[in-house]
Amino acid sequence: GQSLKGKYKAGGDATVPAVNSDATPAADTAVAPAPSVVNNIFFGATKYDPEGKNCYGVYWVHIPGDKTMNPVERNIKLLLAGPTESWKAQGYFSNIPEGVRLNSVKIDGDLVTLDFSEELNKAAGSCAVTQIRQQIIATAEYAVTEHLAEYAGKNAEDINVVISVNGNTEAVLQP
């Protein structure tokens, strides 16, 4: 597996829209929102790397997500959705190709295996491919160490992440 070493730069806090407490929807149409949790999702950022020369440069932003989901699945799905419009406006971007789906997440001790759809291999260019790996690894490592109680106190670098496409780990994300 690959592990990500080093420090990450913070993007800041996402603004969560306020809930209008005066609204009282009809009982038959009311849907309780899922409990939310703030997640660190990693993207490239022109504000920290204006010339795009740091292929390993990924920077976290806070994005709220459904607290009831498995944290690794939740965070990777938030990553695949890309930065929100407000984060894009601040220079954050993703090199992950559009249409990539997460097929499965398996956590076995300190090993996290993430299986993606074939669209992941549509990435081109060695720097873009390196940054995609970094985005996925950092997002998964932090999901495990921040949101799974049994990993409390572990460092993100202690988690090994394996990336596969349709069950195949060979020739994944090759430039």
User: Which residues are within 8 A (CB) of 164 and not within 5 positions of it... i.e. 6 or more apart?
Assistant: 113, 114, 115, 116, 172
pLDDT 10s digits, 2-51: 333 343 444 443 333 333 333 333 444 455 567 788 888 999 999 898 88
Torsional sign, CA 168, 1, 114, 118: negative
Using only the alpha carbons of the chain, give its radius of gyration. 17
pLDDT 10s digits, 142-171: 888 887 778 877 887 788 999 999 999 888
Contact between 46 and 113 (Cβ < 8 Å): no
Specify the pTM: 0.79
